[in-house]
Chain A
Amino acid sequence: MNDAEIAALLAGAPVEPCGGAALHLLTAADWLRLARLVDPADFAGLFVADGRAHALYFRAAPLLVAVTLEGGAYPALSPVIPDAGWCERLAVDREGAVATGAADTRPAIRHGEGDSAWPRFDAPAGEGAFQVGQGPVAGLIARPVHRRFTIEAGRIVRLEHRHGYACRDIASLLHGKSPRAAARFAARLVGDAVVAHALAFARAAEAAGGCDVPPRAAALRAAMLDIERVTAHLLALAAALDAAGRPGLATSLGRARDDIAAAVAVLFGHRLMMDAVTPGGLEVDARPEALPALAAALAEAAASVRRVGEFRVRRALGPAAALARDRARAVLARGAAIVPAIEAAPPGEIVAALPPVSAAGLGSAGSSRGMVHHWVKLHDGQIAAAALMDPAPRLAGRLEVAAAGLDIEGFGVLEACYAVPPGAIDG
């Protein structure tokens, strides 16, 4: 079995401590061998720090490995793990680290002059094919991304993205700050996963410092994550239904989200729960008087979301029907657990002190797109290096593949249901 082979491979590798995981230092050959042994779906992210390339795999638990850069390069994972493609392109733009043998070597977020930089799209392949550009200002609520479709006989044969418009360089802004000060930046990577990123970041800092979060904070954090996932699923479903020409149901789903947000504004003091999570615990406690309104809004969400299963709705969603069904199921499953979980949260403190250590840590949290992961390295309690990993770059690659064969309208529905905010890629 692969698991036994993976264990044997790791057993021979030196290990460095990393809170929340162990960092296995691999040779270039083992780095590639491991990539072939793991399930490609477990690939969770890639980052470059300390003269090394790091790969994170995650199933039930994280597996963090690194390989030393040789002349600024490391062996590419993308030939065996296609999801790594965009991550490798990002690593070139951010850290100048080159993935040797990468499937795609074009920049991801760097805009500029010269041959290798944007703008440059592959020329249309066949006769009768033409290209259509879209963005960076497109759609009623615009998203800062440029898409280039190659179209043949009314169907998309190729989709390419140009990202980097919304780049704020968040990872470098964390540098030199205390985890508490830096949490505000981590939370603002992407607006539909504020809690997920704030929490993954906090957990990374807590794991590095060996900080135990009070039980009340841990319980409320879990409920906050569920609230955020439910609202993000509702927004993605609403966007997909809008694109699919079902504005009535889209509005119902959107309003259910808005009513949840209004209840959460009372419950945790902010509609998106911005800055509610801090390394060590929480900044705010729950105000139970908001629970009846939250329960009512969640019930409203459940009623609307059940309609996503109707035949006519599924047909309208076309290529996004399966993804929409998964999102609808998640709303029902997670939504039902939220209020009881908040009521059952044990009383007590909500924040613990974070010891000022020199150590590294890894933290994870669930978002509506999948798990998000943060790695931080602290020096005397200040951030010396950090990596923020959202599923967005992996999903961007998958969306490009899934677009092939669709017409532009069908793609619009699928893209809305994917919900990959450019800010989550651009950083």
Chain B
Amino acid sequence: MDDADDPVRVLSTRLAATGQALLGRSLAVRHVDAGSCGGCEIEIGACRRLRGGMAAQGIALVDDIRAADILLVTGVATRNLAEAVRKSLAGMAPPRFVVAAGDCALDGGVFKGAPPVLGGVQAVIPVDLLIAGCPPSPRQILAGLAALLEANAREARVRRTEPNA
């Protein structure tokens, strides 16, 4: 396949470019596991390794929450992790985005209604984007991140061009 047609490369390039336009630097993603089986984490790991993907475009996972632009949350949101999720968001400087990845993070997935489960990330903090799948594939994760940032870049442009905004 020609590099220019490779969907992963196309998506990653779009994601990196939008990140630059919005933030003026490379995107940083902080992952938080809010009670997952570990399957979503396996695919986030794969997302990092995609040939021509995140890493090739300078998009990195970071462990310093203060350096993060995107909070990527997986898992059902258990009672025992709610505080850690809230603290993670509170540690981020704006503009900040929250992405809930995986059916568990959407609404608890198959575990919805279990007593220790709050039922998805939205039960704890506001979420900007939901990525469905159990687990979502690496490409779905990448496509989700790209779509989120592009939507925000559009909004930012609209705000800039509105005379009284």
CB of B20 within 8 Å of the partner chain: no
B80 contacts which chain A residues (CB < 8 A)?
Answer: 111, 164-165, 167
If over half of B's interface residues share one DSSP class (helix, strand or loop), that class is named, otherwise mixed; here it is: mixed
CB of B145 within 8 Å of the partner chain: no
User: Residue on A with the closest CB to B117?
Assistant: A168
Chain A, residues 151-195, CB within 8 Å of chain B (1/0): the string is 000000000000011111110110000000000110011111010
Interface residues of B in 47-70 (CB under 8 A from A): 49-51, 61-63, 65
Q: Is the CB of A191 within 8 A of B42?
A: yes
Assuming the contacts A169-B115, A272-B135, asked whether A421 and B38 have C-beta atoms less than 8 A apart, the reply is yes
Contact residues of A with B, CB < 8 Å? 111, 136-144, 164-170, 172-173, 184-185, 188-192, 194, 235, 238, 251, 254-255, 257-258, 261, 265, 271-272, 274, 421-424, 426
Can you list 26 A-B contacts (CB < 8 A)?
A137-B88, A140-B31, A140-B61, A140-B62, A141-B44, A142-B33, A144-B84, A165-B78, A166-B36, A167-B35, A168-B78, A168-B117, A169-B114, A188-B37, A188-B109, A188-B111, A190-B37, A191-B39, A191-B135, A254-B49, A258-B46, A258-B49, A271-B43, A272-B42, A274-B39, A423-B36
A257 contacts which chain B residues (CB < 8 A)?
Answer: 46
- From B33, B44, B110, name the one whose CB has the most chain A CB atoms within 10 angstroms: B33
A139, A258, A422: the one contacting B138 at CB < 8 Å is A258
B81 contacts which chain A residues (CB < 8 A)?
Answer: 136, 144, 165-166
Q: Is the CB of B137 within 8 A of A144?
A: no
A192 contacts which chain B residues (CB < 8 A)?
Answer: 38-39, 42
Q: Is the CB of B114 within 8 A of A172?
A: yes
Assuming the contacts A168-B114, A168-B116, A251-B49, asked whether A144 and B40 have C-beta atoms less than 8 A apart, the reply is no
Q: Is the CB of B110 within 8 A of A140?
A: no
Chain B, residues 14-52, CB within 8 Å of chain A (1/0): the string is 000000000000000001111111111111111001110
Q: Please list the 6 inter-chain residue pairs (A to B) with the smallest Cβ-Cβ separation, ordered nearest first.
A: A191-B39, A191-B38, A421-B38, A191-B37, A140-B61, A166-B35
A-B contacts at CB below 8 angstroms, number: 123
B134 contacts which chain A residues (CB < 8 A)?
Answer: 188, 274
Q: How far is the CB of B116 from chain A (nearest CB, A)?
A: 5
Q: How far is the CB of B118 from chain A (nearest CB, A)?
A: 11
- From B31, B43, B49, B50, name the one whose CB has the most chain A CB atoms within 10 angstroms: B49
Q: Is the CB of A185 within 8 A of B40?
A: no
Q: How far is the CB of B143 from chain A (nearest CB, A)?
A: 16
Q: How far is the CB of A136 from chain B (nearest CB, A)?
A: 5
Q: How far is the CB of A228 from chain B (nearest CB, A)?
A: 11
B75 contacts which chain A residues (CB < 8 A)?
Answer: 144, 166
B76 contacts which chain A residues (CB < 8 A)?
Answer: 168
Q: Is the CB of B63 within 8 A of A254?
A: no
Q: Is the CB of B84 within 8 A of A137?
A: yes
Q: Is the CB of B84 within 8 A of A136?
A: yes
Chain B, residues 70-85, CB within 8 Å of chain A (1/0): the string is 0000011010110010
User: Residue on B with the closest CB to A140?
Assistant: B61
Q: Is the CB of B78 within 8 A of A167?
A: yes
Q: Is the CB of A141 within 8 A of B45?
A: yes
Q: How far is the CB of B57 from chain A (nearest CB, A)?
A: 16
Q: How far is the CB of B35 from chain A (nearest CB, A)?
A: 4
Q: How far is the CA of A258 from the CA of B80 in the complex (A)?
A: 32
Q: How far is the CA of A238 from the CA of B45 in the complex (A)?
A: 10
Q: How far is the CB of A125 from chain B (nearest CB, A)?
A: 28
Q: How far is the CB of A218 from chain B (nearest CB, A)?
A: 25
Q: Is the CB of A272 within 8 A of B44?
A: no
Q: How far is the CA of A164 from the CA of B32 in the complex (A)?
A: 16
User: Residue on B with the closest CB to A143?
Assistant: B33
- From B35, B44, B76, name the one whose CB has the most chain A CB atoms within 10 angstroms: B35
